[in-house]
């Protein structure tokens, strides 16, 4: 029988970028807040994803909090795309600076939460069997925290070592001299493959879909560059917040088809040489027009053929889906790695994996004997982390039932859900989330939620709940924006197509972070239009 431990103003799930700032924001406003975190430390994504080669793919001077100028100026990044340990160190620095740890309960997973209509609060179950209550229940679970472990026949029979990139051990895994197999060539696989190849005796890459990737060209930051970025803090912050993707890059105004072939090649080449995601943001129509998309796709394919020396290997690595409609990847020596003698590539689309045996991986064509298998098979994105918990709103109806397992996912602004009073999702489905620089979208949601909760207190309101019609309209708007792009036409974790049986839905708002922020602010200014509030029975303090 569960016993009640405590009662808080707010309970927050997760101590990553979202949870840490939400805790700080609410605590500063005087709300008692408790964060529950399954890991033993802070960091979220950066706590779990410790695989070799893991690093950021947003430039570090933009991949951090901007709510505190002091914090921004105190922290100095070493390089353009730092590795996971440095980002984790940053989040630990934030937790220490703002003395957040006393309000975080580690090694505790929230398994479920039910809204109690009589008490107007949330009853929240922890995996140690206890229940806590809170007026507000806020998820900061990220979009990519539920690992996808494919249901390979015989996976449990494998006698060697087995790892998933999203749950990497804390101690170093030594692949020296070993026969390693890696399944998956998304961002995680593409980052891990070159690093593992340097250590392993032999690395076999099991690729289902070839990827477009551009060189990261990571480099240490010059002290002068750091000094300037700190000096320009306010301008950088403003530009990030008003931008399309959360980074201070100008929104492209030209079509890839209105310029000459030579001009386009020059632009793509410059982006390639400069490193990073420049090709993706070269022209405004790359993700909306097939012909424009093909120009970028063909450019990257030509680079793959240039880099990979063995023509047969290069052919296998050529992608054909619409460039950018799976998450664009940046790498360090990814394609170059396939020139190594100790790396081989198995196309598991033409010869699928049929079984994991005691000795290794068996495809329809051969059995590959291995000492270790790395699953870089990604995540059940967007809805996965939310539906892992049994969240129940009014009348005991669960989020899973409301969303029909993902077939009818509807939110208001990606932050609230009709039928779930006083419930907020940081970077939830149908917000810009993963198609933006995450810290920028996280800060925007945290600040909006914090302001909303303060508004409720100041106005003597007990509950806030999204209206069904407002939710329906927002959801439809999201779908319309997405349908005008090529994103919905590709099988990816964006569309849920990576999880067998998962309903196909594109749950990211593509209108851009600047426009989205404006929309959210307007709604707040109109007294939280599209929400219904109920006054508190208690007198306003
Ligand atoms: O996962 P993915 P990820 N048999 O889903 C393959 C973020 N991230 O962990 O494409 C064989 O992209 C699957 O094949 P296919 C970033 O947002 C960021 O790599 O479905 N193969 C694919 O190749 C990213 O997008 C960074 O045909 C199977 C791979 O596994 C997101 O996380 C770094 C399979 C999964 O790729 C997810 O990236 C890392 C099966 N049954 C991650 N099932 C940064 O740089 C799956 N695959 C910040």
Q: How many CB atoms lie within 10 A of CB 259?
A: 16
What is the distance in A from the centroid of ligand 1 to the CA of 379?
A: 7
Could you identify the atom of ligand 1 that is nearest to the CA of residue 434? 17
Quick one: tokens of 10?
């707010």
Convert the pLDDT of each residue in 86-143 to its tens digit.
Answer: 999 999 999 999 999 999 999 999 999 999 999 999 999 999 999 999 999 999 999 9
Binding-site residues, ligand 1, Cβ < 6 A? 56-57, 144, 150, 165, 183-189, 191, 208-209, 327, 348, 353, 376-379, 434, 493, 498
User: Given the structure tokens 């994991």, which residue do they identify?
Assistant: 356
What's the pLDDT at 5?
Answer: 55
Distances, alpha carbon 397 to alpha carbons 110, 113, 339, 430, in Å: 18, 11, 55, 21
Nearest alpha carbon, ligand 1 atom 40: 150
What's the pLDDT at 2?
Answer: 41
Q: How far apart are CA 497 and CA 483, in angstroms?
A: 16
Tell me the pTM: 0.97
Q: Residue 414: is it exposed, middle or buried by C-beta count within 10 angstroms (0-12/13-18/19+)?
A: buried
What is the distance in A from the centroid of ligand 1 to the CA of 378?
A: 4
What's the pLDDT at 1?
Answer: 38
Pocket test for ligand 1, best of 50, 184, 324, 433 (most atoms within 8 A of CB): 184
User: Given the structure tokens 């240039």, which residue do they identify?
Assistant: 306
Handedness of CA 317, 320, 326, 330 (dihedral sign): positive
CB–CB of 322/490 below 8 Å? yes
Which residues face 122 on adjacent strands?
Answer: 115, 134
Write out the DSSP string of 161-198. Answer: EEEEGGG--SSPP--BT-EEEEE--SHHHHHHHHHHHH
User: Given the structure tokens 């170093």, which residue do they identify?
Assistant: 172
CB–CB of 37/104 below 8 Å? yes
Q: Residue 455: is it exposed, middle or buried by C-beta count within 10 angstroms (0-12/13-18/19+)?
A: middle
Nearest alpha carbon, ligand 1 atom 11: 208
Could you identify the atom of ligand 1 that is nearest to the CA of residue 353? 4
Sequential pLDDT tens for the chain (541 residues): 344 458 999 999 999 999 999 999 999 999 999 999 999 999 999 999 999 999 999 999 999 999 999 999 999 999 999 999 999 999 999 999 999 999 999 999 999 999 999 999 999 999 999 999 999 999 999 999 999 999 999 999 999 999 999 999 999 999 999 999 999 999 999 999 999 999 999 999 999 999 999 999 999 999 999 999 999 999 999 999 999 999 998 889 999 999 999 999 999 999 999 999 999 999 999 999 999 999 999 999 999 999 999 999 999 999 999 999 999 999 999 999 999 999 999 999 999 999 999 999 999 999 999 999 999 999 999 999 999 999 999 999 999 999 998 889 999 999 999 999 999 999 999 999 999 999 999 999 999 999 999 999 999 999 999 999 999 999 999 999 999 999 999 999 999 999 999 999 999 999 999 999 999 999 999 999 999 999 987 655 4
């Amino acid at each position: 029988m569960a016993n009640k431990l405590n009662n808080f103003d707010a309970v927050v799930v997760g101590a990553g970028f979202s949870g840490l700032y939400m805790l700080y924001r609410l605590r500063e406003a005087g709300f008692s807040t408790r964060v529950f975190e399954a890991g033993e430390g802070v960091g979220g994504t950066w706590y779990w994803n410790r695989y070799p080669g893991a690093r950021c793919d947003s430039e570090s001077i933009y991949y951090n909090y901007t709510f505190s100028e002091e914090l921004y100026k105190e922290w100095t990044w070493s390089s353009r795309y730092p590795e996971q340990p440095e980002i984790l160190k940053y989040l630990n620095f934030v937790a220490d600076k703002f003395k957040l740890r006393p309000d975080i309960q580690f090694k505790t997973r929230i398994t479920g939460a039910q809204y109690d209509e009589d008490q107007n609060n949330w009853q929240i179950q922890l995996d140690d069997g206890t229940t806590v209550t809170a007026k507000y229940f806020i998820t900061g679970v990220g979009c990519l925290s539920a690992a996808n472990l494919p249901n390979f026949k015989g996976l449990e029979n494998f006698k060697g070592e087995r790892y998933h990139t999203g749950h990497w051990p804390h101690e170093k895994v030594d692949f020296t001299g070993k026969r390693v197999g890696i399944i998956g060539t998304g961002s995680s696989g593409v980052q891990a493959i070159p690093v593992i190849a340097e250590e392993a005796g032999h690395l076999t890459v099991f690729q289902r879909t070839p990827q477009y990737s551009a060189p990261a060209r990571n480099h240490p930051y010059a002290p002068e560059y750091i000094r300037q970025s700190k000096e320009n803090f306010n301008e950088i912050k403003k530009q990030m917040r008003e931008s399309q993707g959360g980074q201070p890059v100008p929104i492209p105004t030209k079509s890839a088809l209105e310029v000459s072939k030579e001009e386009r090649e020059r632009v793509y080449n410059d982006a390639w040489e400069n490193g990073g995601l420049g090709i993706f943001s070269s022209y405004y129509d790359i993700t909306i027009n097939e012909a424009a998309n093909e120009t970028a796709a063909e450019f990257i394919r030509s680079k793959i053929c240039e880099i990979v020396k063995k023509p047969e290997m290069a052919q296998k690595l050529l992608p054909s889906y619409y460039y950018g409609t799976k998450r664009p990847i940046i790498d360090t020596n990814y394609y170059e790695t396939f020139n190594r003698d100790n790396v081989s590539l198995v196309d598991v689309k033409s010869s699928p994996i049929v079984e994991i045996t005691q000795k290794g991986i068996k495809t329809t064509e051969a059995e590959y004997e291995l000492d270790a298998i790395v699953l870089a098979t990604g995540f059940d994105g967007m809805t996965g982390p939310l539906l892992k918990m049994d969240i129940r709103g009014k009348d005991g109806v669960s989020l899973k039932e409301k969303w029909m397992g993902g077939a009818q996912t509807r939110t208001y602004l990606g932050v609230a859900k009709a039928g779930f009073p006083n419930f907020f999702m940081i970077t939830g489905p149908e917000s810009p989330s993963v198609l933006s620089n995450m810290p920028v979208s996280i800060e925007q949601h945290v600040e909006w939620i914090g302001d909303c909760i303060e508004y409720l207190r100041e106005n003597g309101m007990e509950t806030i709940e999204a209206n069904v019609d407002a939710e329906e309209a927002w959801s439809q708007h999201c779908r319309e924006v997405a349908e005008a792009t090529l994103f919905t036409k590709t099988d990816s974790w964006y569309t849920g197509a990576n999880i067998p049986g998962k309903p196909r839905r594109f749950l990211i708002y593509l209108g851009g972070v600047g426009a989205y922020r404006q929309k959210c602010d307007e709604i707040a200014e109109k007294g939280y239009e599209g929400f219904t509030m109920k006054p508190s029975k208690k007198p306003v303090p």
